[in-house]
Chain A
Amino acid sequence: MNVQFKKGVLELCVLVLLDKKDRYGYELVQKISNQIEISEGSVYPLLRRLTKEEYFTTYLKESTEGPSRKYYRLTDKGREYLYELIDEWTEFSNGVNQLIKEGVGNNDER
Chain B
Amino acid sequence: MTKDKFLNQLNSLLKNIPKDEREDILQDYVEHFTFGLAEGKTEDEISAALGSPTQIAKELLANYHLEKVTTSVTAGNIFRAVWAVFGLSFFNLVIVLGPAIAFTSLIISGWVMGIALTVTPLLVIVDAVVHPGAFLLYHLFFSMILCGIGYFIMLAMYYITKWATNGFVRYLKFNASLVKGGLTNDK
Chain A residues within 8 Å of B, Cβ to Cβ: 25-26, 29, 33, 39-42, 44-49, 52, 65-67, 69-70
Chain A's nearest CB lies how many Å from the CB of B18? Answer: 14
Closest 3 CB pairs of A and B: A39-B51, A41-B50, A26-B35
Contact at A40–B50, with CB atoms within 8 Å?
yes
CB contacts under 8 Å to A, within B34-55, are: 34-36, 38, 49-53, 55
Query: Which residues from A are CB-within-8-Å of B56?
Result: 39, 41-42, 44-45
Please classify the interface of chain A as helix (H, G, I), strand (E, B), loop, or mixed, using the class held by over half of its residues. helix
Query: CA A84 – CA B35 in complex, angstroms?
Result: 33
Contact at B55–A41, with CB atoms within 8 Å?
yes
Chain B interface residue bracket vs A: 20 to 34
Query: Which residues from B are CB-within-8-Å of A45?
Result: 56, 59-60, 63
Chain B residues within 8 Å of A, Cβ to Cβ: 25, 27-29, 31-32, 34-36, 38, 49-53, 55-56, 59-60, 63, 67
Query: Which residues from A are CB-within-8-Å of B32?
Result: 25-26, 29, 40, 44
Query: Which residues from A are CB-within-8-Å of B25?
Result: 44, 48
Q: Which residue of B lies closest to A67 (CB)?
A: B34
> Which single member of A44, A49, A52 contacts B29 (CB below 8 Å)?
A44
Query: CA A44 – CA B27 in complex, angstroms?
Result: 10
Q: Which residue of A lies closest to B50 (CB)?
A: A41
Query: Which residues from B are CB-within-8-Å of A41?
Result: 29, 50-53, 55-56
A-B CB contact pairs (8 Å), 30 listed: A25-B28, A25-B31, A26-B35, A33-B49, A39-B51, A39-B52, A39-B55, A40-B49, A40-B51, A41-B51, A41-B52, A41-B53, A41-B56, A42-B51, A42-B55, A42-B56, A44-B28, A44-B29, A45-B56, A45-B60, A46-B59, A47-B28, A48-B28, A48-B60, A49-B63, A52-B63, A66-B34, A66-B35, A69-B31, A70-B31
Q: Which residue of B lies closest to A33 (CB)?
A: B49
Query: Which residues from B are CB-within-8-Å of A66?
Result: 34-35, 38
Query: CA A1 – CA B31 in complex, angstroms?
Result: 28
> Which single member of A39, A52, A70 contacts B28 (CB below 8 Å)?
A70
Chain B's nearest CB lies how many Å from the CB of A47? Answer: 8
Query: Which residues from B are CB-within-8-Å of A40?
Result: 32, 49-51
